[in-house]
Amino acid sequence: MQIKISRLAFAWVVALSISIPNSWSQETIMTIGTVAPADSPWSALLQQFKEAVEKKTAGKVKVKIMLGGVLGDENEMVTKVSRGQIQAVGASTGALATKVPEVNLVELPFIFRNTDEADKIIDKVLTKPYEKFFSDRGLILGFWSENGYRMFASRDKAMTKPDDLKGRKMRAQESPVHLAMYKALGASAVPIPTTEVPQALATGNVDGFDQALLYMIAAGWQKSVKHVTISEHIYQPAAIVFNKEWYSKLPANIQKILIDEGRSVQVKGRKAVRAIQPELLGILEYEKIAVKKLSAAEKAAFETATKPVYEDFRKTFGKDASALLDTALAELKKIRGGK
């Protein structure tokens, strides 16, 4: 039985609709690095992006898509973009936070109870200040995309309560917030780049991991586990980010295309990723992986156990990040009717 992820419209795709002025005669190369694997929905859509850009610019902008982490893991590619070694990267917020620490805020455990809250806070509260934070570090925040809620997965047992993680070796994204979360849960966090996770699972160097279902299945990580917990403990966006120096040399209307057209597909991209969740769960069921959805009480126990991560965030990232967290929490309280 062949199961295809067919409805994904990932927000990394940009439809260019404004022509380059005739006076701009030079050619430029835009290399986009990503850990998205070949022969995946992401690679197909990024190929569409490449074709659209090259057609609209009459070949004056050449797009090179580097898939599967061939340019390094996410952290390495974010560094390469900041140095101008490549022009763009599609990466999770966990990786982008290595250069823009304030981004760790969006990955605090259980900060968003649902995707509607996440969209409102990211778009209306965080994007504008983040644009400055990115710019100050030599980067341009292009537009948001979606990785989705992260779930726990294990090689040998379900994880339905905080005690189930105590002493467990869990692959962790190389992010202070992720590491702090596992510390709060009593797990042994093992920071491993995405490109090395399958081998670590196969050899037993880690007992499990947490990841969004979309990436988990696209990269084949589920083939090495027997249990997946629908914990929804961290909502993880992704973003396309450009090197500021390279971006600044583009004609103004091309800059506008990259930002405006990218952000115009945010809603469509988010909806498509969310709509595919039942299909992803169907893949897990077909592969006979035990799936456990946490009850409200079980999720509340994890939320309580990970509360110390918020104080760690404030201490680690300073007053600007702490003030932004206060603003986000105040807005969330309004959204929730004062609760």
Please give the pLDDT value at position 112. Answer: 98
Determine whether 291 is exposed, middle or buried from the number of CB atoms within 10 Å of its CB (0-12, 13-18, 19+).
middle
Q: Count Cβ atoms below 10 Å from residue 264 Cβ, excluding itself.
A: 14
Residue type, 207: D
CA distance 299 to 292: 12
How do strand 208-212 and strand 169-172 relate by DSSP bridges?
Answer: parallel
Position 17 scores a pLDDT of 32
Per-residue confidence in pLDDT tens, the chain, 339 aa: 444 444 433 333 333 333 344 446 678 888 989 887 787 666 766 677 777 777 777 777 787 989 988 999 899 999 999 999 999 998 899 999 999 999 999 999 999 999 999 999 999 999 999 999 999 999 999 888 888 999 999 999 999 999 999 999 999 998 899 999 999 999 999 998 888 899 999 999 999 999 999 999 988 999 999 999 999 999 999 888 999 999 999 888 788 877 876 776 677 778 878 888 999 999 999 999 999 999 999 999 999 999 999 999 999 999 999 999 999 999 999 999 977
271 is written with which tokens? 């909806």
Closest among 66, 70, 73 to 46, alpha carbons compared: 66
pLDDT of residue 10: 37
**What is the architecture of the domain spanning 28-335?**
3-Layer(aba) Sandwich (3.40)
Q: List the end-to-end C-alpha distance of the chain, in Å, as a whole number.
A: 47
- Give CA–CA dist 152/208, Å, rounded: 7
pTM of the full predicted structure? 0.86
Query: Alpha-carbon distance 130 to 322, whole Å?
Result: 14
H helical segments located in the chain? 41-56, 74-83, 93-96, 115-121, 127-136, 176-184, 197-203, 213-218, 244-248, 252-256, 262-264, 266-275, 277-286, 296-305, 308-335
The residue extents of the domains of the chain are 28-335
